Structure 1
Amino acid sequence: MSPMNQSKPMTLREKNRLRARQELLDVVLDLFSEGGLSACSMDVVAKRVGASKTTAYSHFPGGVDEMLRELYTLVSRRVVASAREAHDEKTAAAEKILALAEALLSVCAEKKVGHFYMMLSPVLSPLLEPVVGYASAAFRDMITSDLATVGFAPEHAEPVSVLLTGAMRECAREVAKSPDRLSEMLSTFDALSRLIVEQFPKTCSGV
């Protein structure tokens, strides 16, 4: 590989800055878990980390709003990366779709993360609107491709992928509220998705 294509190693200063940003994000997640959006402020975040508010703003000039958007983006990327890896290891369409659900619901079973990622309130939703939808779009694309491999016509594959992604998110919300329902929600989603994958093409073809 040409040296021009190799990633430049991070300097100690860059590593320290990255670690400091992550510490701030971890604190915001803790605060949100404890008291919702109203519990999050730059004063409290800085105090919890043991830094000045000026230092906190140097990492996130947009304040708490920017931190929450960054946190949501990181969780979304984590979900998609994990889901895509698990999805690509499977061969059957139903197994691929279940792998996506397993990745999402497993993350949402982590109490703090799930509460933040799935429990969008009327106050929080507008704040996160610019970064919401990345995972859902990725899931819809993968499911649409999976359905095409088992005989779904293009005009059916896309809307069914929307339906399955929506069902998956509803299951994830339940898991975020009650992590002990993880297995129940996964098995329920699996039964639903398999029924659709196996029966929908037959219904449409009149078989």
Structure 2
Amino acid sequence: MAKQGKTDAKHAPLSLRERNKLRTRQELLQAALEVFAETGYGSATVEAIANRAGTSKVTVYTYFPQGREELFRVLYEQINTELVERATDIYSRDGHFADRVVGLTRALLEVAERPLIGRFYSIEDPSLDQALNPVRGQASRMWSELIAKDLQSAQNESRLASTAAPEAIATLVVGALRSALSDVARGWARSTDLEEAIESLVRGLEKR
């Protein structure tokens, strides 16, 4: 019976105070997303984020004690988690290595096409190294490892035209994907064109 009580408590509805706290946290994250997407990381300030959320800097630091760094990191990690989950789903099923890379490309460019999130996730700023040190590159590393494993299998089966190291090829593919993300997010290229180009590149790796 005690175990049942714990389970019921876990699924008990949130109190009004808890719902308000969650709403405030989400409003701060949304405000931060807008400010970062518009001004970049270096020019964004806690004051600007607080003003956008219609609250005070004290409130921002109450919810995010590390301020701007923590806000950016939480937002970045949310997108990372989505991309890791998409990759896990793609690679949980049997498939051709090129088809899988195309699936990853589509997932990333879908992120790029979201107006605020695409610009946010494509921000490049040297000062981000410290803010993102715990989480930066997680999705890219995972994707690179998955692609390299697929390419290694294809190479072992003599299906690849290239004898280059699969890890090196995977690194270049992921780099191309990051560049595609940035171009689409900034409106410099169309996702359909870049998806087609990536597919052409990876299918060109296979022996004819």
TM-score by length of 1: 0.81
Contact 1:105 1:171 in 2 (8 A): yes
Match of 2:62 in 1: 58
Deviations along 1:92-143, whole A, 9 cap, x unmatched? 2211111111101110122221212112123334433332101101101211
Is 2:164 aligned against 1:168?
A: no
Is 2:148 aligned against 1:139?
A: no
Contact 1:42 1:64 in 2 (8 A): yes
Contact 2:42 2:125 in 1 (8 A): no
Q: 1:184 aligns with which of 177, 181, 193?
A: 193
Q: 1:159 aligns with which of 163, 168, 175?
A: 168
- Matched residue type, 1:31: V
Matches within 5 A, 1:1-207: 8-9=10-11, 11-12=14-15, 13-37=17-41, 39-89=43-93, 91-152=95-156, 156-178=165-187, 181-196=190-205, 198-199=206-207
Please say which of residues 134-143 and 169-178 is displaced more in the overlay.
169-178
- Matched residue type, 2:177: M
- Matched residue type, 2:106: E
How big is the alpha-carbon RMSD for the aligned residues of Structure 1 and Structure 2? Answer: 2.9
Contact 2:40 2:123 in 1 (8 A): no
Contact 1:73 1:131 in 2 (8 A): yes
Q: Cα distance, 1:148 vs. partner?
A: 3.2
3-state SS, counterpart of residue 62 of structure 1: coil
Return 5+ residue gaps in structure 2 as ranges.
158-163
- Matched residue type, 2:10: K
Deviations along 1:59-82, whole A, 9 cap, x unmatched? 100011111111111111112222
Match of 1:205 in 2: none
- Matched residue type, 2:65: P
